[in-house]
Amino acid sequence: FTLDMDTTALAPGEYQVVFAADGSTTGFAAFDVKRSHPLYVVVTTDWDDADTSDEALALQDDLHAEHPELLLTHFVGPYTFTDPEVSPERREILVDWLLGMEQNFEDEVGLHIHPYCNFVDQVDELIGVDPIPCITDQSTVYSTDTSGYTIRCGAYTEEEFTNLLLASDVLFEENGLKKPTSFRAGGWTAEIHTLRAMANAGYVADTSANNWARMEEWAGPFMGTLYEWNRENWATINDTSQPYYPSNANILEPGDDYVPVLEV
C-alpha cells in the first residue's frame, strides 16, 4: 500500500498509523512514525581565490535547479577586485552572476577575507588611512606566506581589521554589490578583537566559529597549525553551540557584556 498524507497540521511528535480493512473498526497492522521539527539547511561558499571557476559557479547553479527553495550565502573575497590577474571583464562576469543569484534566488552576498597582500596594500588608498603593512609571518600553514593568503585574520589589530572591512565595503559598492553584513574569516581565524572590528564596520553576523572536530583532514605534523589553532580557539564549538552573541571576555561564551555580532 502507498499512502500520501498532508502532515502540515501535525505538531512535532510521535504518531501511530493504523491500517484497517474498508468499513472495519479493527486494525490489522500498525507502525509508529515521528514528525520532526523542520530541518533548516544553510549552504555557504567561501571565495578563497580571487577568481571562482566557472565549474564552481555551475555547481551552485545546479544546486538551485535541483532545490529551488534553497538559499545560499556567497562569502566573496575583496581580492577579486584587487588581484591583477583577474581582468575587468572577468570581474564583471562574476559580479553579474552574484547579482543574478540575489535577484533570482534571494541569495546573500557576504564577505570572506584571506588577507592577501594585493588587497591589504590597497586599503590606504581606498579609504584614506595610513598604510597597513601586509603581514607575512603569521601563517597557519607555512613559516612565511608572502601572498598573505594563509595569514591569520587575528594577526591584524582591531583598528587594522576595521579598515580592511571598510575597504571591502568600498570595493563591493564600486563594483555594483551591496554592502555585506555577514562575514567569515579565512581559515576561521577570527578572534574577539576581529569581531569588535566587524561591529565597528556595521556587520551583524559572523560565521567563523568552527566545529573543529570535523576538520580532521587538517590534523598532522605536515599540515601546519590550522587544525591546532582551531581546536584551541574554538574549543567548545560543536553541532549545537550556536548561535550566540560572544562575550567581550570570552569569544566562546555569551555574556551580558557582548559584542553585537551574532556568532553562527
Residue 92: other Cβ atoms inside 10 A: 12
What pLDDT, on the 0 to 100 scale, is given for residue 222? 80
- Confidence check: pLDDT of 88 > 90: yes
243: preceding bond cis by omega (within 30 degrees)? yes
How many CA atoms lie less than 13 Å away from 253 in the CB half-sphere? 5
CB burial of residue 87 (10 Å; 0-12, 13-18, 19+): exposed
Q: Which residue reads 554592502 in cell numbers? A: 179
What pLDDT, on the 0 to 100 scale, is given for residue 177? 98
What pLDDT, on the 0 to 100 scale, is given for residue 40? 80
Q: Which residue reads 587538517 in cell numbers? A: 218
- Confidence check: pLDDT of 134 > 80: yes
Rg of the chain taking only CA atoms, in angstroms: 23
- Confidence check: pLDDT of 52 > 90: yes
Contact by Cβ (8 Å): 116, 80: no
Query: What does pTM read for this prediction?
Result: 0.87
pLDDT per residue as tens digits for the range 146-197: 999 999 999 999 999 999 999 999 999 999 999 999 999 999 999 999 999 9
Collapsed DSSP state (helix, strand, coil) of residue 87 = coil
Maximum C-alpha span of the chain: 84
Q: How far apart are CA 182 and CA 111, in angstroms?
A: 6
**What is the band of 77 on the pLDDT scale with cuts at 50, 70, 90?**
very high
* Residue 230 CA from chain centroid, whole number: 15
Q: Residue 180 has what DSSP assignment?
A: P
pLDDT per residue as tens digits for the range 25-39: 999 999 999 999 888
